[in-house]
Amino acid sequence: MVSAALLLTACGSGSPEAADDAKPVANEASEALPEEEPEEDEEPEEEPDEVLLKAGDESEQVRELQARLGQAGVFEARPTAFYGDTTTGAVAAFQEANDALEVSGTVHESTWELLLQKTQDPTQEQLFPREQVMGYGDNNDQVRELQARLVQLDHFEDNPTGYYGNVTKTSVESYQRAAGVEVSGIVYDDTWAALKAATKQPARDEMFVPVEVPEVEKETPAGLDDRCMTGRALCISKTTNSLSWVIDGDVRMTLDVRFGAEGYETREGEFTVYWKSRDHHSTIYDSPMPFALFFDGGQAVHYSENFLQNGYEGGSYGCVNVRDREAIESLFDQVNEGDKLIVHW
């Protein structure tokens, strides 16, 4: 009977009241609560990449940065301790060459640490490199001043020339040995500063020493009169039938000429060109006289078509005829009124 009662109860038959009586009494504390989802582990926050150096900074750390960048092969200028455009570009180049770094041109802590790993502590020479002031091959007034200052200390025996050649290089080496400066033959800023401190500013005559050039008499070329050797002169020889255009003793042009026929002889002597007439026509003899250079009355040097055609068979009415039209045209343009003209044997 007890078994049957338990079975019926387990099957849920009976009255609602009986069922309620069979339910266990539960209190609030015993009620099941929903399970809370486990909290996910939070990732630790990354420490910010601190900015150590940036454009506009000026310090000895910037100088060290520049020297180290020089070791890394991305900074070719002299360290200045100022973080400008050149330094920004060099930092960016270093960052670009290292994939772990962000390319920004600014030195964050990560950039600085990697740079320290890849370089060595800069030497004094790297931090404060010497600057070349003058060297072999230079040619200017500063070299002339250098030479004049070396003369004051008996390290340069010649007059200053302004050219930095072997003589100047040897003289600089001599001074550097005497002054206790590194002997290089090149004038770096330390050599120049020491030399300027040991000498006085050269006077202009010390830098530009007047040189007396002896006057050498020019030998008179064959066929020229001595009077043709000075100034601008048309030198006309009746002996050689030639006209030479001479400036300060240098013969610039020589032309064949012929003279006046018998009874119309060309006068000899020293004259000046008093009138030039490019397209002259003789009213007395009704003949053309192009490129006429008048020197004595109606006598002139001019182009002659007759001379070109007939040579020395004919003669002029006292003028000096030229048969090379192109040459006399060029001569006409070069000669000035007032230039000297000599007709001689």
Task: Quick: pLDDT tens for 53-104.
Answer: 999 999 999 999 999 999 999 998 889 999 999 999 999 999 999 998 999 9
Measured CA to CA, the distance from residue 159 to residue 180 in angstroms comes to 25
Measured CA to CA, the distance from residue 290 to residue 277 in angstroms comes to 7
pLDDT tens string 164-187: 999 999 999 999 999 999 999 999
Cα four-point dihedral sign 248, 254, 260, 265: positive
**pLDDT, position 19:** 39
Measured CA to CA, the distance from residue 14 to residue 276 in angstroms comes to 158
**pLDDT, position 215:** 61
> Is 235 noted as a catalytic residue in this protein?
no
Measured CA to CA, the distance from residue 197 to residue 313 in angstroms comes to 82
3-state DSSP helix/strand/coil % of the chain, to nearest 5: 35, 20, 45
Q: Residue 157: pLDDT above 70? A: yes
Q: Residue 9: pLDDT above 60? A: no
Residues 6 or more apart whose CB falls under 8 angstroms from that of 205 comprise none
Which one-letter amino acid corresponds to residue 200?
K
Which one-letter amino acid corresponds to residue 86?
T
**pLDDT, position 33:** 54
Of 38-42, 136-140, 184-188, 196-200, minimum mean pLDDT range: 38-42
Q: Residue 34: pLDDT above 60? A: no
For 34, phi then psi, to 5°, come to: -65, 140
Instruction: Write the DSSP symbol of residue 229.
Output: G
Report residue 4's pLDDT band, with 50, 70 and 90 as the boundaries.
very low
> Is 302 noted as a catalytic residue in this protein?
yes
Please give the distance of CA 99 from its chain centroid, rounded to a whole number.
39
**pLDDT, position 214:** 59
The residue annotated as part of the active site, out of 228, 235, 280, 319, is 319
Which one-letter amino acid corresponds to residue 115?
L
Kindly report whether the global pTM for this prediction surpasses the value 0.75.
Answer: no
Q: Which residue has the higher pLDDT, 210 or 239?
A: 239
- Residue listed under structure tokens 């790297």: 126
- The rounded mean pLDDT for the chain is 87
**pLDDT, position 190:** 93
Q: Residue 25: pLDDT above 80? A: no
DSSP letters for 280-307:
EEETTTTEEEEEEEEEETTEEEEE-HHH
Q: Residue 133: pLDDT above 60? A: yes
**pLDDT, position 39:** 61
Of 38-42, 46-50, 285-289, minimum mean pLDDT range: 38-42
The three state secondary structure string of 45-107 is: CCCCCCEEECCCCECHHHHHHHHHHHHCCCCCCCCCCECCHHHHHHHHHHHHCCCCCCCCCCE
The residue annotated as part of the active site, out of 108, 155, 280, 302, is 302
Of all helices (H) and strands (E), which one includes residue 194? helix 189-198
**pLDDT, position 5:** 35
CB 292 within 8 A of CB 280: yes
